[in-house]
Amino acid sequence: MNLKNSIRTISDWPKPGIMFRDITSLLQNPEAFKQCCDELYERYKDVKIDAIAGIESRGFIFGSVLAYKLGVSFVLIRKPGKLPGEIEREEYDLEYGSDAIEIHKDAIKKGDKVLVVDDLIATGGTVCAAVNLVRKLGGEVIECAFIIDLPDLKGKDKLDCPVFTMIEFEGN
Ligand code: AMP
């Protein structure tokens, strides 16, 4: 089936001018969700990976399924103030202002090979911060995987590691 058709677009959300690519419609379609997870599994099943780091919150959905299928650990990269243990923090710039993400310091060991997963790459700011967090803990980011790329925003150009994306949408 055509995965792209299973993702609905909501215009002007969360603010005017944004075309929100909504994966809840993909998740509500069991065939599409399975195809998506199977495609990720096929790509990584023979790759040496120690941990998958999922970015809150939609990265948790695809990342945790993949971690289960691969039999590797799953690590949460969360918005500030959500993780109870000792954390490492990384700030990043938004169009207006800044944001931050956090990871548990003991979530990744030095030398671990880590796959970073999120649903979508737009400007690339969030995933760059996630990559920095993994590296701060001594992890090696082997690739970043996304279901959706917005190529016009050139997020991939910000990353200095391999990137895998499954579907492209023009515009922002
Ligand atoms: P960025 O840091 O600009 O690459 O933004 C990526 C994060 O914001 C991801 O976690 C996405 O889920 C979310 N995001 C950004 N733009 C969109 C969009 N047009 N539709 C859906 N999610 C988006």
Question: Mind listing the pLDDT tens digit for each residue in 36-64?
Answer: 999 999 999 999 999 999 999 999 999 99
Residue 133 falls inside a structural domain: yes
Q: 149: Cβ below 6 Å to ligand 1?
A: no
pLDDT in tens, 149-161: 999 999 999 999 9
pLDDT-derived band at 172 (thresholds 50, 70, 90) equals confident
- Distance from the alpha carbon of residue 120 to the mean position of ligand 1, in angstroms: 6
pLDDT at 10: 97
pLDDT for res 81:
98
Q: Is 121 in the pocket of ligand 1 (CB under 6 A)?
A: yes
pLDDT tens, position by position, 50-100:
999 999 999 999 999 999 999 999 999 999 999 999 999 999 998 778 999
* 107, HSE (Cβ side, Cα atoms, 13 Å): 26
* pLDDT, position 122: 95
Enter the pTM of the model. Answer: 0.98
Q: Say how far apart CA 70 and CA 95 lie, in whole Å.
A: 36
CATH at residue 122 = 3.40.50.2020
Q: What are phi and psi of 57, to 5 degrees?
A: -110, -25
Separation of 72 CA from ligand 1 center, angstroms? 26
| Residue 31 within a domain | no
What percentage of the chain exceeds 90 in pLDDT? 96
- With a 6 Å cutoff on the Cβ, whether 18 touches ligand 1 is yes
Q: Whose CA is nearest to atom 3 of ligand 1?
A: 123
Would the CB of 159 count as within 6 Å of ligand 1? no
Number of domains into which the chain is organized: 1
Do the domain assignments include residue 78? yes
Query: Separation of 88 CA from ligand 1 center, angstroms?
Result: 22
Give phi and psi for 53, each to the nearest 5.
-105, 115
Q: How far is the CA of 37 from the centre of ligand 1 (A)?
A: 20
> How confident is residue 15, by pLDDT bands cut at 50, 70 and 90?
very high
* pLDDT at residue 94, rounded to an integer: 86
Residue 134: give the domain boundaries: 47-168
Report whether 161 contacts 114 (CB < 8 A): no
Which atom, in ligand 1's list, is nearest to the CA of 58? 12
Q: Is 11 a domain residue?
A: no
The answer as to whether 34 is a domain residue is: no
